[in-house]
Amino acid sequence: MNTKNLAASFQRPHMKRRLLALAVSLTLMGVCIAVFKTVGFGTDPCSTFTLGVSARTGVTFGTCQLVFNLLLFIPVIRHDLSRIGIGTIGNMVGVGYIADFCMRLIGARLPPEGLSMMERVLMFAVSMAVFLVAASFYMVVDLGVAPYDAIPQLIAAHTNKLSYRGVRMIWDLSMLSIGFLLGSIIGLTTLITGFFLGPAITLVAKRVHGWFE
């Protein structure tokens, strides 16, 4: 394990700015996942899997998310510690429990007749835009990635047969398939996060590159 790389992740330029952007982005990601679950148009691949596990086991989404990432944490630590940082821990521990809290909050305030289609579409559109930007900032601040995101990076780095994009697609599709079999919904949210998150990260990186250098 390269401890020098881990220590260096705590000594990046503009750390206060990076930490603030990280905290805000992780919080917004949790809120958006709760909205995705509420409107019923699917969620991102990782959440699709853990929501399916949560539904089958009765364990909260946040705990399922944490345990799943802890299991994936083992090979990441073993093979490439440089991918681990403050953002890794924040994503593992924070996003799922923030989503749980917001799900309860939203559920307690939903009207008895439920949401109209117009309300669902409006909530979906706003939360999707926020989620793409928040997830992009989470990646751009470069303070470590969640084990879920690190695993396909590791696989791609150790194989010449598939590009990272190909590995990531197989990885996400596998998690989506398992989540679907466990009862999760796959919908518009799933497709948009699958196809547009990469371009969103690229766009945000170009716009805010100088903020963290």
Domain regions of the chain by residue span: 15-212
The DSSP element (H or E) to which 204 belongs, if any, is helix 188-208
Residue 97: pLDDT band by 50, 70, 90 thresholds?
very high
How much is the pLDDT for 113?
Answer: 81
* pLDDT above 50 (res 185): yes
How much is the pLDDT for 47?
Answer: 92
* Long-range pairs of 204-211 with CB within 8 A, sequence gap ≥ 24: 204/133, 204/136, 204/137, 204/140, 205/136, 205/139, 205/140, 208/137, 208/140, 209/140, 211/14, 211/17, 211/21
Residue 2: pLDDT band by 50, 70, 90 thresholds?
very low
Measuring CA to CA, how many Å separate 10 from each of 13, 81, 84, 91, 142?
9, 13, 11, 16, 11
Name the maximum alpha-carbon separation found in the chain.
Answer: 56
For the chain, percent of residues with pLDDT exceeding 70: 93
In this structure, the number of other CB atoms found within 10 A of the CB of residue 71 comes to: 10
Q: What is the pLDDT of residues 113-132, one digit of tens each?
A: 888 999 999 999 999 999 98
How much is the pLDDT for 37?
Answer: 92
Residue 8: pLDDT band by 50, 70, 90 thresholds?
low
How much is the pLDDT for 82?
Answer: 78
Measuring CA to CA, how many Å separate 90 from each of 61, 106, 140, 161?
16, 23, 15, 33
Average pLDDT over residues 184-192: 88
* pLDDT above 60 (res 4): no
pTM here is 0.85
Q: Which residues contact 22 (CB under 8 A, 6 or more apart)?
A: 86, 87, 90, 137, 138, 141, 143
Residue 3: pLDDT band by 50, 70, 90 thresholds?
very low
Kindly tell me the burial class for residue 113, based on how many C-beta atoms sit within 10 Å of its own C-beta (0-12, 13-18, 19 or more): exposed
> In terms of pLDDT, which residue wins out, 76 or 101?
101
Is there a contact between 17 and 144 (Cβ–Cβ < 8 Å)? no
How many angstroms separate the CA atoms of 62 and 66, rounded? 6
How much is the pLDDT for 192?
Answer: 87
Is there a contact between 43 and 95 (Cβ–Cβ < 8 Å)? no
Q: Which of 1-5, 80-84, 169-173 has the highest mean pLDDT?
A: 169-173
Q: What is the pLDDT of residues 141-168, one digit of tens each?
A: 888 888 998 898 889 888 888 887 788 8
